[in-house]
Structure 1
Amino acid sequence: MGEKMANRESVLPSSGVGRDGVELQLCDVWRRLLGRDDVGIHDDFFSLGGHSLLAIKLTVEVRRLFQVDLTAADLLSAATVAELAEIVRRGTADRQGQLVRIQAGSGASPVYALPPVSGTVLLYPPIARAMGLDQPFWAVQSIGLLPGEEPLTSLEEISEAFIEQLRTVHPEGAEWNLIGYSMGGLLAYETARRLRERGERVGLVGLLDTRITVEPSGDPDFALRALLWRGLKLELDIDWLRSLDPQTRAAELVERAVAAGTMPADFDADRLRRMVDMYQFNLDALAAYRVGPYDGTVTVFRVTDRSMEGGTLPDDLGWGEFASRAVVCDVPGDHFTMVEPGQVETLGRRLREQLGLVAGAAS
């Protein structure tokens, strides 16, 4: 990705669907228990139709997902996803992993989404919904976002770590369906290559407007700008922020983001600093990556609005040079609007269609 594109890498948190992996997974649990298509993180469990029997089922699901035991008092005092997530985070401070279940679904072949440069998975819930609530959908966030984690230094290492994580939930005998937005597509591609080399069945490899090369940004404040504008949705003066010492800057951003509702109330300055650092770690790892051959098919989801690309790029973005076959599937929008409301619905449908075609060819 060129510098212009990299500087606007999407994070897209939403106060409606969750601002981190814990909130995303709790929203999924609530949707299934309450029989609702969508749940906001500030909706009250009991106002949405929750009752004592469903509350018991909720505690069972929380125990299964997070190994945290909730009490009746917990549910009464924390009746929203946002409030309950604070309790869960405290109970899993040393045990949270990279895997986030976006939606349980009912099918046998999950889709696994790999993270963009932000390292987070917050852009994937709308894509999962657009694919249909019956589609099992997992996402994996970058190692280094959670306390005590050291970021990995190469894309190859990152891919191996993701495979190890995904094996813990992958149904035996099922195809591996991998997708990735922008830089996440390179991670999906490398993961597919490694699985295929080991003789495993790989289905959809969906590259969401992913180019074959990544150019490092020349902007020294790239990570801060990306987190500020795309992640925290705050309009602050970069020069003023740069003038603050790191500890004061992080504390200031946390306070403002919590007030704006784009960061959970129990986040701290240390976590925010890790988010900023994650951008640079991932950019460095991806810029050093060299694409290898893949004995299989990739599907390139190519935006129809190419006005911001600054040059003529091949329809398949160059993937036909490395994969045995590259299928191009047009989707509306540009690199950023393709995953936003109004466009993401079409992207989800096309992903579902391509997933069905791959499954049909395999059978």
Structure 2
Amino acid sequence: PLSAQLCRLWADALGLAQIGVEDSFYEKGADSLILARVAGQLREQLPQAQRLSYDTLLRQMLNEPNVAALARLLNQGEATPGAIAASGEAQRSSSSNALVVPFGGGDVGPVRVMFHAALGTLDYFQHLGRALADQQAGPVIGFAVADTEQYLALEPKRLIERVAEDYAERLIADGHQRFQLIGYCLGGLLATEVARRLLERGMEVVDLSLIDSIPMFIDTDEELAYEAIFVPNLNLDPVKTVFGAHIEDYDVYRAIDLLMARDNRRVPAGAMAALSGDPG
């Protein structure tokens, strides 16, 4: 059976004797790099996986890191947007680009909603989601991006607004009324905007939690600045990755202060790359 094949493949990838169909890859020692490698192996070894894109396979495992969910995807191929998922499975509706991933948590209490970061996946929330579900203090769900092409096609200046409106409408359509909202990185901005929309519609937001989520503190068209904000989503050091291993954090912030003083609190495109020397 397909599930048995997947269990053997994952056990080999993690150096284990065996792995269960519902076992979390993360709890068994996986990380995003191992998931990326296994996604490639799936396409090489399984005919069912060859019908799917590498991105689809990787995102599936980032959002639902277990064999049971992966087997469902491989058995059905590229699911149609309006496909109805069974209880306990990630769900997408035809009118929304939200992939809603259930973590459990019981039926009594406000629904606790975790919003993805910039990459649109829930890998950062796997441990937190299970810990919250173990409390049995209310259902726990995660919002991920269902269609990456649709997500990337959004106008950047309106992305937060458009996605937040979509997610708020999805929560209301699913019949929820009391919420605890949790956002990481860009997801913090989404959670804030979703909270505002829910309150405007008469819903109850009992708590709003932002994790490592800050707005842009500079007005800039500088690509290096945007790269530095994005790369932490890949578990990389923003300063060392974008500016070089020999650059210190303090020097980057000092350069930003210098450029903002020169250009009326803006950092124009190309300004950081054009810096030369050290004014002290």
- TM-score, L = length of structure 1: 0.37
Tell me which structure has the larger Cα radius of gyration.
2
The TM-score, its normalising length taken from structure 2, stands at 0.46
